[in-house]
Amino acid sequence: MASPGFDVSQYFREQVEEKSAKPSIFDIFAKLLLPIVLASVAVYRRDSTVPLLGFAAVALLASFYRFILDFFKRVASETHDRRVAKKALKPFRSFCRELSFYFDASTSRSDTLTGILNEIARRSTQGTQLNLGLRIPPVELFHNHMHWLNRRIINEKLSASQFHEVVNEFTGLISSYSSFCVYPVFRIFASELREGLMPHEKSQLNGFQGRFVVSVTGYQKFLKDLNQDFRLLPDFPIVIMLPDPL
């Protein structure tokens, strides 16, 4: 049983990631010298062929055991990572469906940031000021990016490295949307335009904020678990800027 505070998975990952120095030609020759000598003697002394060849084999394994051990460790870790990626693909798709909802470009919905801001801008006497103040990227950029990303996500035969790449790309998309679209809106409303909001508009924005934070927090937990499970692949960034309620 591991002692408290000792991370077995992290220890194993560090052991696997430790890179062995590339052996020089001299090192390889020195390691092969004894097995070659024993094999040569076995050829000339037929009465001792079997024992000498056995000693040669043992000497060969002893010389290269570290390289052989590292090879099998890496194969085992790659197999483990493939299984992790395969198991995580289904929940990852669920998160993609849940979070890509926020990229909906429709202006008629009252549960998306785009729709809420559109209604506020149309109603508010500060509409011009609002449009100038909220200089955020159009949500269509994220919607279009997600459209093409989905074509890769639905692929059933993603390797572990391909899965890792897609997750990284989607995480970057969510992080960018939160940093450049969601967070600025709540910062501006909280500091400059709060008084211009109607009670139901504030309620709609806070409802959106609550749903968005819950969705992203769940996705961050998913990323943390993947970081613990993968052995060879690098950790995913999990820091995503989240807004406070108004």
pLDDT tens digits, 160-195: 999 999 999 999 999 999 999 999 888 877 776 677
pLDDT (average), residues 207-216: 95
Q: Is residue 114 part of a domain?
A: yes
Place of tokens 């290269």: 64
Instruction: Please report, in angstroms and rounded to a whole number, the separation of the first and last CA atoms in the chain.
Output: 48
Query: Which residue segment(s) compose the domain that 56 sits in?
Result: 20-77
User: Are residues 103 and 216 located together in one domain of the fold?
Assistant: yes
| Strand boundaries in the chain, DSSP class E | none
- Residue 147 in this model has a pLDDT that exceeds 50: yes
Categorize the per-residue pLDDT at 137 as very low, low, confident or very high, splitting at 50, 70 and 90. confident
SS3 for 232?
Answer: coil
Q: Is residue 65 part of a domain?
A: yes
Any idea which of 48-57, 120-129, 155-164, 235-244 has the lowest mean pLDDT? 48-57
User: Quick one: tokens of 136?
Assistant: 């955020």
Q: Identify the pLDDT of residue 116.
A: 87
Q: Is residue 8 part of a domain?
A: no
User: Are residues 58 and 172 located together in one domain of the fold?
Assistant: no
Q: Identify the pLDDT of residue 155.
A: 75
User: Are residues 35 and 53 located together in one domain of the fold?
Assistant: yes
- Residue 211 in this model has a pLDDT that exceeds 80: yes
Q: Identify the pLDDT of residue 121.
A: 79
| Rounded Cα gap, residues 39 and 19, in angstroms | 32
In terms of phi and psi (left: phi > 0; alpha: psi -120 to 50; beta: otherwise), the region of 5 is left
Q: What is the mean pLDDT of the chain?
A: 77
Any idea which of 54-63, 83-92, 117-126, 140-149 has the lowest mean pLDDT? 54-63
What is the tally of structural domains in the chain? 2
Q: Identify the pLDDT of residue 7.
A: 45
- Residue 95 in this model has a pLDDT that exceeds 80: yes
User: Are residues 222 and 103 located together in one domain of the fold?
Assistant: yes
Q: Identify the pLDDT of residue 110.
A: 83
| DSSP 8-state secondary structure symbol assigned to residue 48 | G
Burial of 233 per CB tally in 10 Å (0-12, 13-18, 19+)? buried
Q: Is residue 59 part of a domain?
A: yes
pLDDT (average), residues 139-149: 91
User: Are residues 130 and 219 located together in one domain of the fold?
Assistant: yes
Please tell me the total number of residues recorded for the chain in this structure: 246
CA 31 from centre of chain: 41
Residue that is last in its domain, among 49, 77, 105: 77
User: Are residues 124 and 56 located together in one domain of the fold?
Assistant: no
Cβ within 8 Å of residue 160, ≥6 positions away: 78, 81, 82, 84, 85, 230, 233
- Residue 45 in this model has a pLDDT that exceeds 90: no
pTM, two decimals, is 0.72
Burial of 160 per CB tally in 10 Å (0-12, 13-18, 19+)? buried
Categorize the per-residue pLDDT at 44 as very low, low, confident or very high, splitting at 50, 70 and 90. low
In angstroms, what CA-CA distances link 11 with 6, 77, 231? 8, 13, 10
User: Are residues 55 and 152 located together in one domain of the fold?
Assistant: no
User: Quick one: tokens of 89?
Assistant: 């693909």
Q: Identify the pLDDT of residue 103.
A: 92
Q: Do 96 and 170 contact (CB within 8 A), yes or no?
A: yes
Residue (of 109, 169, 111, 108) closest to 142 by Cα position: 169
Categorize the per-residue pLDDT at 153 as very low, low, confident or very high, splitting at 50, 70 and 90. confident
Residue that is last in its domain, among 77, 92, 111: 77
| Rounded Cα gap, residues 102 and 198, in angstroms | 23
Categorize the per-residue pLDDT at 33 as very low, low, confident or very high, splitting at 50, 70 and 90. very low
Residue (of 141, 211, 210, 148) closest to 176 by Cα position: 141
Residue that is last in its domain, among 33, 53, 77: 77
Which helix (H) or strand (E) is 43 found in, with range? helix 25-44
- Residue 75 in this model has a pLDDT that exceeds 70: yes
Categorize the per-residue pLDDT at 19 as very low, low, confident or very high, splitting at 50, 70 and 90. very low
Q: Identify the pLDDT of residue 132.
A: 45
Q: Is residue 15 part of a domain?
A: no
Q: Identify the pLDDT of residue 174.
A: 96
